[in-house]
Amino acid sequence: MPVYRYRVRDKFGKLITGTIGGDNRSAVATHFESMGYAPVSITEESAREYTSLLARFNKVREDDMNLFNRQLVTLIRAGLPLMAGLSAIEKQTKSSLLKEIVRMLIKDIEGGMSFSDALARHPHVFDEMYINAIRAGELGGVLDEILTRLAELGEHETNTKAKIKTATRYPIIAISALGIGFSILVTYVIPRFVTLFARFQGELPLPTKILIWVNDAIRNYWYIIIILGGIGIVVFKKFIRTKKGRRLWDNFKLKVPIFGPLMFMIIMSRFSRIMSILIRSGVPILGILDMVSNATGNVIIGDAIRDVMTNVNQGGSMAEPMQKSRVFSPMVVQMVAIGEETGKIDDLLLRVSEYYDQQSDYVIQNLTTMIEPILVVVIGGAVLLLALAIFLPMWNMVRLFKT
């Protein structure tokens, strides 16, 4: 009997996962539905292991996924059946992994699966939010509209990442150049000055002693530095995997100057946009909150969303626990409260997302300007140290030579 890995939700929207034996996927789905559970994904272990093995050596690029969504929308709106659209994409895509996945999607759909169930067999490529939105689109007959929204979401996130990379390129290049120059001076220039200055039997100035100490430490104890660095990385990774460590680390990231507020804006934009998409798709609010809480990438914000879910599950509103958490901004709380009263929460959440998009774009565009003062201090301090370390011995040598 095949073994299936399942993900189902109970009547309260809580996600339950595990494995179960069954004759086929339909039998397993019927079993859970008879018990009052709503299946999210049911994946045969062998197929799951195969796709996971593919993902281990390769990964579908975000650009390829965005193109997949856009092409599928265009083909469906042009009147092509889903199978014909997938076949056309399978022939055109250049990504070997995506080509193989589309081929498997076609095979599964031909075998009687729905599109969303076929997608659920590839959780490393299509996340829970994507699958549930597609499932809602299938049930509501608005698959093309849902795919359009998902494509817009993917393209927006890709563009945001590209903007951040562009804005941080100059600081990264400047710091890298400083590091290379510092290494060359410490490794090759300073030791020659030390040898020359030792002939005059003079005392080295403090900046020179500091750089000599750094040079000796790297030359004589490099293996200890590597070992200690490796141990530090392992300990840090294990620490942030603990509940307390993850909370401390995520809280620290939100409080880092410049980047912390930017991260918060991006998370809030993603939270609001995904909520809007899934509400419009007809996905139950409890299921949406559960999915979004796991998609934030920050346990502080995720826990606040789970508190909202608990309150909604008990018959309360979303706005009240949002306000108590002090995580969400007053604007988000007010928009959600108005949306709950008017029944237009999806429209208002989309406006919240657009607001945070504008704010984050402004910060990203001015990121280099904001970082420049920090760079000036860091680079200026390093240059001053290097200058003192080199020129002070020279001045001392001249003075000793005269005496």
Burial-class residue 172 by CB neighbours within 10 Å (0-12, 13-18, 19+). Answer: exposed
Report pLDDT for 3: 62
Checking 368-373 for CB contacts under 8 A at 24+ apart, the result is 368/167, 368/170, 368/171, 370/258, 371/168, 371/171, 371/258
Q: Strands of 3-9's sheet, edge to edge?
A: 15-21, 3-9, 38-44
Report pLDDT for 237: 92
Report pLDDT for 46: 55
Looking at 3.40.50.150, 1.20.81.30, 2.60.40.10, 3.30.930.10, the CATH number of the domain 259-365 comes to 1.20.81.30
Report pLDDT for 79: 86
Report pLDDT for 226: 93
Which residues make Cβ contacts (< 8 Å) with residue 158, sequence separation at least 6? 62, 63, 66
Distance CA 222, CA 402 (A): 40
Positions in the chain whose pLDDT score sits under 70: 1-3, 11-13, 19, 21-23, 45-58, 194, 197-202, 400-403
The amino acid at residue 216 is D
Report pLDDT for 146: 86
The amino acid at residue 252 is F
Domain locations in the chain?
Answer: 1-57, 259-365
Collapsed DSSP state (helix, strand, coil) of residue 124: coil
Return the closest-CA partner of residue 395 out of 222, 205, 188: 205
Report pLDDT for 214: 82
Write the pLDDT tens digit of every residue in 323-340.
888 888 888 899 999 998
Report pLDDT for 248: 93
Report pLDDT for 239: 93
For the record, the structure tokens of 76 come out as 């469906």
Report pLDDT for 58: 62
Report pLDDT for 228: 94
| Residues pairing with 178 in the sheet | none
Do strands 38-44 and 15-21 pair parallel, antiparallel, or not at all (unpaired)?
unpaired
Q: Quick one: which H or E segment has residue 4?
A: strand 3-9
Report pLDDT for 229: 92
Report pLDDT for 393: 75
